[in-house]
């Protein structure tokens, strides 16, 4: 049987930063989290002890990594190594959706 997940069928879940964060997959070495930032939402800089890849699904947002800032649009992929602060801002007037792909060692 093919297993699948549709984020729309997962329960709404506010993370510690007040952003809708729905776990789409959780395995031993990998997690995939769907994040949706409404206009004006942000996730402040925070460091984690794991590598994270972010894939922008929809919209446009500002990615912060350490002391760097870049604007990313739908279709973009960005890597954030472990131990370096990372964060997001949605400065647009539309929803901003990303997948956080976390490798767990």
Both tokens assigned to 18: 């007040």
What structural domains and CATH numbers belong to the chain?
20-63+75-103 (2.60.120.10)
Q: How far is CA 3 from CA 9, 24, 33, 49, 77, in A?
A: 14, 11, 17, 29, 25
Assess contact for 21 and 35: CB atoms under 8 A. yes
Decide if pLDDT at 104 tops 90: no
Residue 32, both tokens: 């995939």
Residues 6+ apart with CB under 8 A from 53: 77, 78, 79, 80, 100, 101
DSSP SS3 for 9? helix
Closest CA to 61 of 89, 81, 23: 89
| CA pair distance 102, 21, nearest whole angstrom | 13
Residue showing tokens 């912060």 = 64
Whether the full predicted model's pTM is greater than 0.85, yes or no, is yes
pLDDT digits (tens, 9 = 90+) for 28-73: 999 999 999 999 999 999 998 999 999 999 999 999 999 999 999 9
């Amino acid at each position: 049987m093919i297993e699948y997940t549709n984020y729309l069928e997962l329960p709404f879940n506010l993370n510690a930063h007040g952003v809708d964060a729905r776990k789409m997959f959780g395995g031993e070495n990998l997690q995939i989290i769907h994040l949706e930032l409404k206009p004006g939402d942000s996730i402040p800089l925070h460091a984690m002890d794991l590598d994270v890849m972010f894939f922008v699904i929809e919209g446009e947002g500002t990615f912060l990594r350490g002391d760097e800032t870049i604007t990313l649009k739908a279709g973009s992929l960005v890597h954030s190594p472990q131990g370096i602060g990372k964060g997001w801002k949605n400065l647009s007037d539309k929803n901003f959706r990303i997948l956080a792909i976390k490798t767990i060692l």
